[in-house]
Amino acid sequence: MVESLSGIPPFPPEKAALRRELIAARRSLSPESRRTAARALARSALALPELAGARTVAAYVSVGAEPGTRELLDALREAGKRVLLPLLLPDNDLDWAAYEGPGSLAEAAHPGKMRLLEPSGPPLGPQAVTGADAVLLPGLAVDRRGMRLGRGGGSYDRVLERLERAGAHPALVVLLYDEEVVARVPEEPHDHPVQAVATPSGVVRFTP
């Protein structure tokens, strides 16, 4: 069991074990539960002032049992935001391209272990993310300090390092299911805290 903010048993300290547990819990959700959660997540995220005031939002296309982002992407675009989506590079780093609607998505050239959808427009370069006002991050959990547990591929660690090197300070928001906001996740020196988490039930903010 993963320890939630409401209490109970502590999870194992190993990131790999925790990731397996969280991924299994996601896969146990029914398709209808995922669709309902995606609609509610879009409403929660859109209520964030950081997104309402953003001109450019770096986001991502959800895959598999991840909290769904497709409705949120379309809502951001309809609101006049410039939405950047990642392109996975062979070394697991991320390039970026503009989202031009559902018809602009194509299967990734370097899909890795998952079937990824990516924008088909021209690549803007890995540095494009440094111009975003808000960055939406995938993850498996976040704790009460704002520390995020990712999937372990390192792609977003590179993004966060790139932002830091550039002196860029966009709002960092992770998108999760409700039960993935936990008491504590294992952390390493390179991990970066986020400012907020959006879940189907609402938003939790973290103070530095």
Whole-number Å distance between alpha carbons of 18 and 148 = 12
Predicted confidence at residue 111, as pLDDT, reads: 56
Q: With bands split at pLDDT 50, 70 and 90, how would you rate the model's confidence at 2?
A: very low
Whether 1 has a pLDDT exceeding 50, the answer reads: no
Q: Name the strand (E) or helix (H) holding 205.
A: strand 202-205
Q: With bands split at pLDDT 50, 70 and 90, how would you rate the model's confidence at 190?
A: confident
Task: Return the bridge partners of 203, or none.
Answer: 198
Asked whether the beta carbons of 203 and 196 are under 8 A apart, the reply is: yes
Predicted confidence at residue 5, as pLDDT, reads: 40
Alpha helices in 99-188 (DSSP H): 155-166
Whether 24 has a pLDDT exceeding 60, the answer reads: yes
| 174-199 mean pLDDT | 90
| 6-29 mean pLDDT | 74
Instruction: Give the model confidence (pLDDT) of 97-133 as tens digits.
Output: 999 998 899 887 665 556 688 999 999 999 999 999 9
Q: How many CB atoms lie within 10 A of CB 4?
A: 16
Predicted confidence at residue 81, as pLDDT, reads: 97
Single pTM value for the model: 0.89
Predicted confidence at residue 208, as pLDDT, reads: 66
Whether 77 has a pLDDT exceeding 50, the answer reads: yes
